[in-house]
Structure 1
């Protein structure tokens, strides 16, 4: 038996070079990874987890409810200012900011653009000027008894109709003023809530931006750290190349070797069992032979005594027993030539020690992982050094992406947040004052409404249609007085309130037209994106891009929650494909493996000498015949001395000489005693021998088939090793390499997808812009515009309210002078002319 022969004796002498090339491609041949699909049997690597997006606070956003008067106020402002957003005009003003006052054309263009507001301002100024003048002259006229100042009411047939008409007109006017007053209260409170909540909302918005800015570097670091995990995974696989690659090679060999080893083990067990049974059979035969020799001696002694007795002349008819006496023998000779040949063949097999052969084969294949580890030690070490270069190359992603700009923005936002915290108490105090002033204005308007309502209630309540105007009740007189009070308060405060309306109209209206509306439709962002308008705002040059990026484009992308990779065109400054492609290390690693000498030895399963001995055992087992020894045992078992003893007893009965008779009887008794000894000693031994022979025959019959199976399986296994080892090593090496490459492919695809589609989803940035716009425009400006619009609404309806109140008051107040009126026809006596006769 030849064991552990050199690999150069095998027909796969080129497998070492194949193995070197295969392991050389293992580590970083990413260029081949695209064309070599990973096997489904690859051990699962540590798959990168999905990128976790940060949690953002809820802020004012798309779910914000539009103000209750927004549509009405915005419709009015669009009517006042129908002109489009004056982008060019604003740019001219910004560029010539120092010479705006001296540029008449620019001033004229500005006034033309604001013509709608100017018309409204003119109307407001006219209101402010005329209302106190009209009130002053009206008061003077009434003091002089004019303009209804004289406490006299002419009674006509249409007085009640006119009173009812004035009453309902005054009621409708008062209701309209009351509706405007309610809108004033509501908008004043809404503005107060908006101002109070604005610092909180702004801080939430800034916190969200800071969360976004801090999350982007963390996400990039996470992607880079996942590359470290991949490199570490491949490093661990390289460190365990023996246990992984060697075990796979073992398993491929075991598929063919296991049947061969199993049959050899079975043959070893059967030869051992056969040897044990042969030993037992030989021992039993020896014991049987000893017993037979002892019994044969006893039979010979009894036979000699019988001969002496039969030779006595006194013995009657004794000569007739001589033929029977000649048969008196046990036949003690037991022999089996085939048994000796089988014993010799089994002994030869036992000398070869099949267990030792099996252990040598198992030890050899168990040592394959360690052999692979030893042969690839230097190459693995060099490859692990190159894995460190891969880590450095991939970590370059962090340096190439301009994350420092995010840190600068975060610092600015922190400063803004501190400034908000500093001015918030002052804003709250100012808002309390503003809220108080607004509440006072609402209450004054409410006072006029209350006076009108009291007049509308008390006047009709105390009025009697047929009563004399000078005798009207106190209730009706109070109603008329309240009408006059309402008109007086209206004249007193309306022009002051109109000043407030005019100021807030100019402020809120222009903020909506020049800020909120263009902010909402994107024109403001286009203005801000104008080159050189705000120095240092060019995003492209700031990031080192070849092309500039417009702010509206960034906003639109962020509205769609796009990643920074596409939003900021980072692909212009970061070559992600190059950073994630490490195929340039392939040639160097291949060179490492080509310079190494990886060899594996092989083994011969069974030597020709052992095969010859197995063939001899098979032939001997086939020729083994237990018939001869079985026949000898059957002959022994057929011995019956009782027959001769019975003949002696019969002969003794015919003897007259008592001595002869006694001797014959004694000799018959001795034969029966010997027969009894045969039955008690020899018969069990014979049964045991027959059982052993049957078991041996069964085992020997199996040996022939087992030996054939061993020779067949060993031949197949040996041919498999001789012809397929090269292919097995190459296939398993390629499989091992493909698995390692698959880890890099998976990581590269994941990293590319994550950086280009998940890192820095800038939805929070657009959300922050929208939140600020909602806080400023949808909440504060909208509430402010609703307030001045409601106040202006009330001031406009103060005019008909004053007129109707003054006119309606005379119908309820108590007059000083009466005017009698009767609807019956008054017949005056017309004197007839008298005729005088002379």
Structure 2
């Protein structure tokens, strides 16, 4: 998870916490603070402490040359002394630099003697001495001596070649470091500047998060009606809603019973109408059957007498129930249920009206808290951070400005170093060619005056290497001496004390840097040193702990919100939140409910259902068919009348089927439902009345306590938000804001850039060059001695079979 995502989630957690803070049920005890924004860190390359194997060797050599501890007191004396040329001061400096002075003396001796010896050697050889006399006496040990000189020269050349290779490698490493040094230095400064610029942002972030908390508490206080009212509603709903739901169920029973009675009455009216029509048709049929013209009609008279709709519904037993339902409808149970619901729904508005004055006062106190918290930034020295950031920007611009010049100088240095390396390589190549060509063309038994050109060429190569050595070695030693003094003292006086923090202690010493005193600059009473700051930053402590800001900033004074939250708590708790009294069901309503239940339970629903079943079996069509059969045996007017009367009966039957039967089906379903209800209606009513009485008792006895408890929980939750805010802000500012690990990283990267990359590579170069200079001396000696074994001699000397033959005295062989 990235930093931006963690920050968004943290803010969401805070908002959710404060949004739900109105209910103690959803009021968490701890805020999960968001992670602070960190500085944008660029890439910082930290090279190894050693440049291949050379650094440890050079460090060991310099430690031997300069075994003295860091001269802190001498530096202070030099900085505070008005006369640095005094004998005492110079003596102390020379005593400290004794090791370097000895090496410098040796180097100067080398610089003076090498050209002088080379000049003398050249003049001596021109005079025929120092091996310039082209005669070699043949002895028994000549071959052994030649081999001995050969291998010594070979080993010395290998040593010089090793030093030369180290010169090439250290020069390449130095070139790479110098090419990247400006960029790495700028990256280090950029990281430090990013850290400095992040500190105000982190402080603003803490303040903004604090403001979010204050604003959300302000919103909660402003919306205390809906929030606290909803909480009070939840406290009362558990008792009132079940009672109102039971009352609503009883109201539904009233309605269903009223609907049943209405259906019965409607069905009875339709039956009465059909029965009237049927009576009229029966009278007509009776007159037709008694018509003298009707033949054999008397046998239908008995069937006509039995002709009816089957039965009617006897509603006399339901008159008492109808009366009870009418009286129940008069009390309007639904209206009383709605009154209870309105009581609950109006609680938020009641709370709002009761806390209007308190809310206005509390909002003023909350704005005071907000201004108090914002005052933290006044005492934090952010202006000094801005000035330091501007200084870093200026240094970066200067570095970029001079980078081309540095690159050009480094290019020239690299070319000069390559030339030096190549000149040393030239001596090595001459020696190696001499060591190759000399043995290749040498015939040990052959007369020295008859040596081959190959062997002679090998000897000349060796002497050429000697000549180059005499010619350039003293110049190389001057370079070694200069780089040794500069690089060696940089290592012993800067890098070593920097690593051991003795350099920081020197800077902390009063008077070393005029006007610089870290504790006084920050206004601290505690002694604060750069070493302390560096060590704290090494473990990534906060800026508050590192700089001991508690001595100049009284954070508790800004974050002590209890003096304001007390007013908030008192104002809210003193609010007179009083709910109106309410009677859910009065005694008259309860009496009517009991009368209704008693009446409904006494209704004989089985008798009504039996009447409905009998009525449903009504069939007039069978008698209409008999009339049709009888009409077929008649003629004239009687025939027509019988046919018409049969059709009238079928029409009545159709009316019964289309109107009465659907009503009877509905009525059957309603009666079945009613019969199920009346079987336990007494228990239902008693259960309802028990719930209502329990709810009424709760309202009468516990409403005030519930309101007071919810109000206290709400207020305590808001106050808890401020307490948590103060703790979080205090902890964040003192433990997280400005963690100065990037400062230590920047210091370490600059130290690594200067010492591990530049100074060590520079020291490795002069050490490699000095190594070569040391081995040039034995190289000259043994190359001169070995060359005579390969060069062609001008004068002969014989040594055959252990008998020396010298026909001419040696003194006569010398040139005149």
TM interval, shorter chain, is 0.7 to 0.9
Per-residue deviation, residues 476-508 of structure 1 (Å, max 9, x unmatched): 111111111111221122222212212211111
Q: Tell me whether 1:42 sits opposite 2:27 in the alignment.
A: yes
Cα shift at 1:47: 5.8
Cα displacement (A) at 1:244: 1.6
Q: Which residue of 2 aligns with 1:721?
A: 699
Q: Does 2:355 match 1:372? A: no
The residue correspondences of 1:236-251 to structure 2 (distance < 5 A) are 236-251=219-234
Name the residue aligned to 1:481: 460
Which structure has the bigger radius of gyration?
1
Question: CA offset at residue 584 of structure 1?
Answer: 0.3
Secondary structure in 1 matching 2:604: coil
Task: Tell me, yes or no, if the aligned pair for 2:438 and 2:459 is still in contact at 8 Å.
Answer: yes
- 1:222-371 correspondence to structure 2 within 5 Å: 222-292=205-275, 336-371=315-350
Give yes or no for the alignment of 1:559 onto 2:538.
yes
Q: For structure 1, which segment, 247-256 or 615-624, has the greater mean C-alpha deviation from structure 2 after superposition?
A: 247-256
Q: Which moved more, 1:767-776 or 1:149-158?
A: 767-776
Given that 2:541 and 2:735 are in contact with CA atoms closer than 8 Å, whether structure 1 keeps it comes out as: yes
Deviations 1:5-62 (A, max 9, x none): xxxxxxxxxxxxxxxxxxxxxxxxxxxx9xx999452389996421121221122326
1:190-229 deviation digits (Å, cap 9, x = unpaired): 2222222221111111111111110111111111111111
Change (3 A) 1:442 1:299: closer
Choose from 84, 90, 112 the match for 1:100.
84
Q: Distance in 1 between matches of 2:620 and 2:423?
A: 154
The 8 Å contact of residues 164 and 421 in structure 2, kept in 1 or not, is answered as: yes
SS at match of 2:37: coil
Q: Does 1:87 align with 2:65?
A: no
User: Following superposition of structure 1 onto structure 2, how do residues 436-447 of structure 1 map, counting pairs within 5 Å?
Assistant: 436-447=415-426
Q: CA deviation at 1:825?
A: 5.7
**Is 1:180 the counterpart of 2:163 in the alignment?**
yes
Q: Which residue of 1 aligns with 2:732?
A: 754
* Counterparts in 2 of 1:631 and 1:244: CA distance versus 1, 3 Å: closer
Using the alignment, how far apart are the partners of 1:554 and 1:439 within structure 2? 43
Residue matched to 1:113? 96
Q: Counterparts of 1:66-85 in structure 2 under 5 Å?
A: 66-85=51-70
Residue of structure 2 equivalent to 1:776: 754
Candidates 782, 785, 805, aligned match of 2:763 = 785
Instruction: Return the alpha-carbon distance in structure 2 between the equivalents of residues 813 and 333 of structure 1.
Output: 159
Deviation for aligned residue 1:606: 1.5
What is residue 160 of structure 1 aligned with on the other side? Answer: 143
Q: CA 1:357 to 1:818, structure 2 compared with 1: closer, same or farther past 3 Å? A: same
Measured in 2, the distance between the counterparts of 1:507 and 1:333 equals 133
Residues 56-71 of structure 1 aligned to structure 2 (within 5 Å): 56-61=41-46, 66-71=51-56
Deviation at 1:376, TM superposition (A): 1.8
User: 2 CA distance for matches of 1:437 and 1:642?
Assistant: 136
- How many Å apart are 1:324 and its aligned residue? 13
Q: 1:331 to 1:413 in 2, by over 3 A?
A: closer
- Structure 1: runs of 5 or more not aligned: 1-32, 310-317, 645-664, 829-838
**Distance across 1 between alignment mates of 2:574 and 2:716:** 22
- Conserved in 1, the CA contact under 8 Å of 2:282 and 2:304? no
Task: Give the TM-score normalised by the residue count of structure 1.
Answer: 0.83
Contact kept in structure 2, 1:338 and 1:623, CA below 8 Å: no
Change (3 A) 1:260 1:821: same
> What does the per-residue CA deviation read over 1:232-284, in whole Å, with 9 as the maximum and x for residues that have no partner?
11122223222221122223322222222222222222222221221221233
Task: Give the stretch that moved more between structures: 668-677 or 494-503.
Answer: 668-677
Alignment correspondent of 2:633: none
Corresponding residue number in structure 1 for 2:399: 420
**Which residue of the partner structure matches residue 409 of structure 1?**
388
Structure 1: distance between partners of 2:112 and 2:214:
84
Deviation at 1:134, TM superposition (A): 1.9
2-structure distance, mates of 1:308, 1:489: 171
Corresponding position: 1:571 with 2:571:
no
* 1:460–1:643 Cα change, 3 Å: closer
Q: Structure 2: which 5+ runs fail to align?
A: 1-17, 293-297, 624-638, 807-816
1:46·1:230 contact (CA, 8 Å) conserved in 2? no
Which runs of structure 2 are paired with 1:483-632 in the superposition (5 Å)? 483-593=462-572, 596-625=575-604
CA–CA separation in structure 2 for the residues paired with 1:295 and 1:288:
10
Aligned to 2:40: 55
Q: C-alpha displacement at 1:177, in angstroms?
A: 0.7
Residues in 2 aligned to 1:566 and 1:330: alpha-carbon distance in whole angstroms: 105
1:330/1:182 Cα in 2 relative to 1: closer, same or farther (>3 Å)?
closer
The residue aligned with 2:810 is none
Does the CA-based 8 Å contact 1:455-1:481 persist in structure 2? Answer: yes
2:800 is paired with a residue whose SS is coil
Displacement of 1:63: 5.3
CA distance in 2, matches of 1:745, 1:196: 56
Which residue of structure 2 aligns with residue 5 of structure 1?
Answer: none
Q: 1:398 corresponds to which residue? A: 377
Distance (Å, rounded) in 1 between the aligned partners of 2:327 and 2:352:
40
1:335-366 C-alpha deviation (Å, 9 max, x unpaired): 54431111111111122223322333323322
Q: Contact 1:641–1:674 (CA<8 Å) still a contact in 2?
A: no
Which of the residues 385, 392, 408 maps onto 1:429? Answer: 408
Farther off after superposition, 176-185 or 126-135:
126-135
Q: Pick closer, same or farther for the CA change 1:242–1:753 going to 2, 3 Å.
A: same
Going from structure 1 to structure 2, the CA distance change for 1:338 and 1:512 (only over 3 Å counts) comes to same
How many Å separate the matches in 2 of 1:137 and 1:634?
A: 154
Alignment of 1:124-139 (within 5 A): 124-139=107-122
How has the CA–CA distance of structure 1 residues 476 and 281 changed in structure 2, closer, same or farther, with 3 Å as cutoff? same
Question: What is the TM-score when the length of structure 2 is the normalising length?
Answer: 0.85
Spell out, residue by residue over 1:143-201, the C-alpha distance to the aligned partner (whole angstroms, 9 max, x if none). 22222111111011111110010011101111111111111122222222222222111
Give the 3-state SS of the residue equivalent to 2:577 in structure 1: coil
Give the match's secondary structure for 1:99.
coil
Alpha carbons of structure 1 residues 272 and 140: separation in structure 2 relative to 1, 3 Å: same
What CA distance in whole angstroms lies between the structure 2 residues aligned with 1:307 and 1:731? 92
From 442, 445, 448, the equivalent of 1:469 is 448
Alpha-carbon offset, residue 579 of structure 1: 2.2
Contact 1:178 1:449 in 2 (8 A): yes
The aligned runs of 1:10-49 (5 Å cut-off) are 39=24, 41-42=26-27, 48-49=33-34
Find the counterpart in structure 2 of residue 211 from structure 1: 194
Q: Deviations over 1:404-455 (max 9, x none)?
A: 2212222222232233233333333333332232222222212211211111
Distance in 2 separating the partners of 1:814 and 1:620: 154
